[in-house]
Structure 1
């Protein structure tokens, strides 16, 4: 399989009591050493698609990095460093609130790596790595409570991925012990929204810790890989040191979803395979090589993969949309924004300047004609049928 560089947009032993089937031999297997056939998938064939232009005002100007979507709202950011977070109405794109609590005062965050809206309440959960807290705000930016996650022995800990599990809990992957190594202590966990306590650990055992950090001499580059994806049945859980990806169902059962060959421990170059989203027929994944061209400052080339559950074959996928014309292929992966009550399989921010150069169909063509060059992005949302 020959990977191509793409832009990322914007997720073994089993727990006692987990289902024991299917067996390892019957699992779908992705052969990362194979030259996978190419398959075009038009997103309209697998989902219902809507386009929402985000309102642009003097105080609502954003790059449109999607952090979360609920039935009512879309949250987008520029980056966690500037502290900016914008909330829009999902249906109309109307600007609702502009939050920036970056600072050193009470109730502020020093940075944020994740911002997750609740689909059950008007709350937003912001991960502040500097304070080792999940800050809980209302949609106007008022602090409601803080959920600390620092370890009592002061070991390194970081929240790698965060999602809303249900009305009372969050789902996270906790990187523990080392910022560079996937240690045996790292694990997924279900966390109480009320006080931040771990109500259930979800360990996926590993034999040899691996790292997504590329280093050569004094040069270091890091690929941050999502550890939580989605399926129609629940969540897809991934960790870089395991060959098997698991499904976490609403009853908190872990079952194997698929595996890969060659093993992560023997692949050369080392290639990670993580899930993004899925329909009843297709599992979408991304393969990432741990390679880097220091002279060009380009690295971690990736390949989008679709596993067809019906013919049990994997493909190098080209994801397209008829609304964007036949010549446009998405170079951002499908979003990982699906929840069982909010079945989004893809959410992608489309810059207005990009859309103007495409052979658009209606109603997207009319939407873009109303936008000027300073307009915020148009959000494409694909909802599973």
Structure 2
């Protein structure tokens, strides 16, 4: 235990030093969240503090997709179907169809499954994470093979994202629990997959949100790497503290949860879903599951308001629906300029348009659709100086 306390003291010291030396990352206060407490409620609309953009995906005979967005860049979107046919649809950011790539196969230059796609527009590359093959395969944006590299030892790389010109950031986990003594965040080389840096979060003992019983394993949506504009927010289920990983590679604790994850039964996990200049959005997840009913992992949505210095349970709405449709932050995202994205299916939008339930930008987009159209991708983007616009 003294070793953990020592590591914690070092992190606090380094993080504090990193915040006063001209670091461009925004300063953050450390807040404490009681995962058992009841909080007052608040309603928010996305449009009040974020920019919302709608991108209708062009539909052609060759471009028919359910709109599972895998990566978003400055000038393009990479989309797949929800099945396993291996198609990667490359669109412009405006939704114009550019090309379709499919390298599904069993050779050394092909993928057996598309688990994640990481886009690197600056180097004209995409990184395909292939879990069954236990590797990452790199192609140019025309689909030509460039290189590949394997996961280290028996681990799997999760939540892989573009970190900088030379490195990817990811979480190294082990199946099935993903949380072990050897799990940690990594920076890995884009060139050959070698480990550039290990980012280790101190914890007392291993805990995992993965539920296992009677030979069944249930893994809830639970991202451990969240891009938040100038920094990366990192967490582990085994730690009672959530950190920002700063550009100078120091860690700043931003959220401490109570009671400790190590003292709870059933365990209640806390993880961030979106972080803006004003709000910390978080999800509370209880590790309970009924195998017979195939139901469990109840959740609550919490939000910390920096202006009010208070925690709320919240409901979030899309104000481009007349009846203010409720939305929920997704569990995963790998783009630092975009907080969230969802596919909106064309038949649903056509029906809502005909019933007069849409307004604003979404109404304009839906007026051009028919039921056979590809989905419309809804992007939620960070707004600068959001606190002045609420």
CA displacement at 1:101 relative to structure 2 = 1.5
Distance across 1 between alignment mates of 2:156 and 2:228: 25
Counterpart for residue 226 of structure 1: 223
CA displacement at 1:224 relative to structure 2 = 4.4
Distance across 2 between alignment mates of 1:202 and 1:62: 37
Counterpart for residue 172 of structure 2: 174
Counterpart for residue 73 of structure 1: 76
Counterpart for residue 369 of structure 1: 367
TM-score, normalising length from structure 1?
0.87
**Structure 1 unaligned residues grouped into runs of 5+:** 1-11
TM-score, normalising length from structure 2?
0.86
CA displacement at 1:361 relative to structure 2 = 0.7
Distance across 2 between alignment mates of 1:185 and 1:40: 41
Q: What SS does the aligned partner of 2:320 have?
A: helix
Q: Which structure dedicates a bigger proportion of its chain to helix?
A: 2
CA distance 1:309–1:230, shift in 2 (3 Å): farther
Counterpart for residue 92 of structure 2: 89
CA distance 1:32–1:357, shift in 2 (3 Å): farther
1:264-315 CA distance string (max 9 Å, x none): 2223331221122211111122222212232332222222222212222222
Distance across 1 between alignment mates of 2:331 and 2:208: 24
CA displacement at 1:216 relative to structure 2 = 3.0
Aligned pairs (5 A) from 1:1-385:
13=7, 18-20=14-16, 27-79=30-82, 81-90=84-93, 92-151=94-153, 156-176=154-174, 178-180=175-177, 182-333=179-330, 336-339=333-336, 343-358=337-352, 359-385=357-383
Paired residues, what number? Answer: 362
Distance across 1 between alignment mates of 2:65 and 2:155: 30
Contact 1:304 1:333 in 2 (8 A): no
Contact 1:212 1:224 in 2 (8 A): no
Question: Over aligned residue pairs, what C-alpha RMSD do you find?
Answer: 2.2
Structure 1 segments (4+ residues) deviating >6 Å = none
CA distance 1:382–1:228, shift in 2 (3 Å): same
Distance across 1 between alignment mates of 2:104 and 2:284: 34
Contact 1:306 1:316 in 2 (8 A): yes
CA displacement at 1:181 relative to structure 2 = 5.0
The structure having more radius of gyration, on CA atoms, is 2
Counterpart for residue 7 of structure 1: none
Counterpart for residue 388 of structure 2: none
CA displacement at 1:19 relative to structure 2 = 1.3
Moved more, 135-144 or 71-80: 71-80
CA distance 1:125–1:18, shift in 2 (3 Å): farther
Q: What SS does the aligned partner of 1:109 have?
A: coil
Distance across 2 between alignment mates of 1:333 and 1:326: 21
Contact 1:158 1:174 in 2 (8 A): yes
CA displacement at 1:64 relative to structure 2 = 1.6
Contact 2:78 2:88 in 1 (8 A): yes
**Structure 2 unaligned residues grouped into runs of 5+:** 20-28, 384-390
Contact 1:277 1:334 in 2 (8 A): no
Distance across 1 between alignment mates of 2:271 and 2:290: 22
Counterpart for residue 386 of structure 2: none
CA displacement at 1:324 relative to structure 2 = 2.2
Distance across 2 between alignment mates of 1:80 and 1:183: 30
Q: What SS does the aligned partner of 1:126 have?
A: strand
CA distance 1:58–1:195, shift in 2 (3 Å): same
Q: What SS does the aligned partner of 2:271 have?
A: strand
